[in-house]
Structure 1
Amino acid sequence: MKIAVQLYTLRRELEKDFYSVIKQVAELGYEGVEFAGFYNINANDMHDVLTNLNLKVAGSHTSLELLEKNIDEVIEYNQIIGNKDIVIPWAKVDNIDDVKHLINRIKPIIGKLKNVNMNLHYHNHNHELVPYQEGYLLDYLFNELPELSAEIDTHWVTRANVEPISYLKKYQKRTKLVHLKDLVIIDGKPNYAPLGEGIMDLVGIIDQAQENGCEWLVVENDEPRQGGIRDIQISINYLKKILSR
């Protein structure tokens, strides 16, 4: 498995100086990046930056609305930078009617991406893990769309009081990308933490991701309290130690 960082973690730093920050990502030992926007950099320039730093693309978070309105432009940009994995980062999923509506929106996108040898993934939060029938709303989505890959965010699965290792196991063969961030309790509430500084069974999660055939472990922290660079440094140091066992 390779290690990438979801660049949303570094959004504040990247907005100030994209090139300097992306260079630091490579210097820390990350093999890839997962995008959440492109900071007004054209595709050819982005390709050159990544090539010069020997960074691969481990997916791109792309809103459902953008995919519906401008899928041809999305495809073109991502083909230029060498990315085959498009990820829907969030969708309104509060009940089964929302899920059925989402399925109808996603179906044509899967087809268009498949035609150009690209994959569509769905990244969960905790709101999709509402019990429904024998599982959860998220399961209904994946069951109805067998060609939709699952980018399981193990932190958000845990926040939904679902055991993340068994949930990962449920989607073997469909989890090319797995999101990792640790969880801590602050003032009685769940919060984000760098890997190894919280309460999650990350070793078990990583072992299951390996068993699943995961290609990319994607480090993320929505709100890094120690600053983005310091946060991702702690996380990659932890991951390297675990993966070297």
Structure 2
Amino acid sequence: MTKPQIGVQMMMLKQKVEEEGIYTVLQKLNDLGYHAVEVSQIEMTPHNISEMQRAIKDFGMNIAAMSCGVEDISAEQKYPGDTLQLDFDKIVADCKAVDCTILRIGMLPMNYMGSKERTLEFAKICDNYAQRLKEEGIDLYYHAHNIEFVRYDDQFMLDIMRDNTSALGFELDVHWIWRAGLNPIDVIPNYANRIRAIHLKDFRVGEIDMDQYPGEGHEKLYFMLHMITQFAELGAGTLPLKEIIEVGLESGSEFFFVEQDELYGADPYDCLITSREHLLTLGYKNWF
């Protein structure tokens, strides 16, 4: 079995990449003790590819996963990045340039939401791309949020995608599973041997400054209730992370990417330090 590795989902560092450059960000992650990344919401320009190659050479950074879209959002609105529909050859070349064998779709396109029929259509499209990518030595994974736990004919949308694909894998996110009202410990085994990566982020009830919410009475309460659940640094929330990670490992996950969608004014490097320290207390020093 491949040794598991803890890394960073770089979506939370996209502003830092714009300010400092991707090489400097990867160098700082290396200094913090993280040696693997999943690249997301960062444009794959020739310069960024070259800088990632430099980081691989200089300090052994593992570009473990990269991201793409499936197709443009609509005829009028382009997907913000490369898509399998329009940029297949470029995406493959970029992955090979940094020795990356995991490609992940970050989110369900809006035009495929809303019915079992659309789900099946999207699953077929993804599986076709997954089969083509396997011929190039690249595994395609679909990253799920909470919306994929809507039920069609008493079956979760994500389960429908799983049961109607063979080459496509699934990247599970423990926070979004929890936010869907489910326990990741129960969900992850249902995708055993279809996962290579899991997103780690905690879930907390945040401190609320009521002055920032408009209205009075029930209107103010409505805003508060919809904003009180937060993304948290690992160990700063309520998720049973040790048990989740062990179930993920048993189910075949190789990578565990630390991620935090919202930082609430905190510096992302500080958040990553907090999460790493918690993972060390859980006994995962050898996974870094």
TM-score of the pair, normalised by structure 1 = 0.94
- Kept in 2: contact 1:124–1:152 (CA 8 A): yes
- Kept in 2: contact 1:32–1:56 (CA 8 A): yes
Which residue pairs with 1:11 in the alignment? 14
Which residue pairs with 1:235 in the alignment? 275
- Kept in 1: contact 2:172–2:199 (CA 8 A): yes
Choose from 57, 63, 80 the match for 1:51. 57
Match of 1:198, SS? coil
> Which one is further off, 99-108 or 115-124?
99-108
Which residue pairs with 1:63 in the alignment? 69
> Which one is further off, 150-159 or 87-96?
87-96
Cα separation, 2, equivalents of 1:155 and 1:42: 29
Deviations 1:192-220 (A, max 9, x none): 01000001111110111121121111000
Cα separation, 2, equivalents of 1:6 and 1:163: 22
Which residue pairs with 2:114 in the alignment? 94
1:214-225 counterparts in 2 under 5 A? 214-225=253-264
Deviations 1:122-177 (A, max 9, x none): 00011111123453001000110122111101110110101111100111111210
- Kept in 1: contact 2:8–2:259 (CA 8 A): yes
Is residue 202 of structure 2 the alignment partner of residue 182 of structure 1? Answer: yes
AA in 2 matched with 1:48: R
Match of 1:64, SS? coil
AA in 1 matched with 2:136: V
Shift in Å, 1:118: 0.8
Structure 1 portions without partners, runs of 5+ = none
- Kept in 1: contact 2:143–2:171 (CA 8 A): yes
AA in 1 matched with 2:57: T
Match of 1:179, SS? strand
Shift in Å, 1:62: 1.1
- Kept in 2: contact 1:110–1:120 (CA 8 A): yes
Shift in Å, 1:244: 4.0
Shift in Å, 1:61: 1.8
- Kept in 2: contact 1:26–1:53 (CA 8 A): yes
Choose from 70, 76, 82 the match for 2:93. 76
Is residue 35 of structure 2 the alignment partner of residue 31 of structure 1? Answer: yes
The percent of aligned pairs where both chains have the same amino acid is 25
AA in 2 matched with 1:88: I
Match of 1:122, SS? strand
AA in 2 matched with 1:232: L
Shift in Å, 1:39: 5.6
User: 1:55–1:88: structure 2 CA closer, same or farther, 3 Å change rule?
Assistant: same
Shift in Å, 1:31: 1.9
Count of residue correspondences: 245
Which residue pairs with 1:165 in the alignment? 185
Supply the RMSD in Å over aligned alpha carbons: 1.6
Cα separation, 1, equivalents of 2:43 and 2:33: 21
Match of 2:148, SS? coil
AA in 2 matched with 1:34: E
Deviations 1:75-122 (A, max 9, x none): 001101010110000013332122122123213211210111110000
Cα separation, 2, equivalents of 1:39 and 1:243: 35
TM-score of the pair, normalised by structure 2 = 0.81
Larger Rg over CA atoms: 2
Cα separation, 1, equivalents of 2:51 and 2:174: 33
Cα separation, 1, equivalents of 2:150 and 2:277: 34
Cα separation, 2, equivalents of 1:95 and 1:199: 33
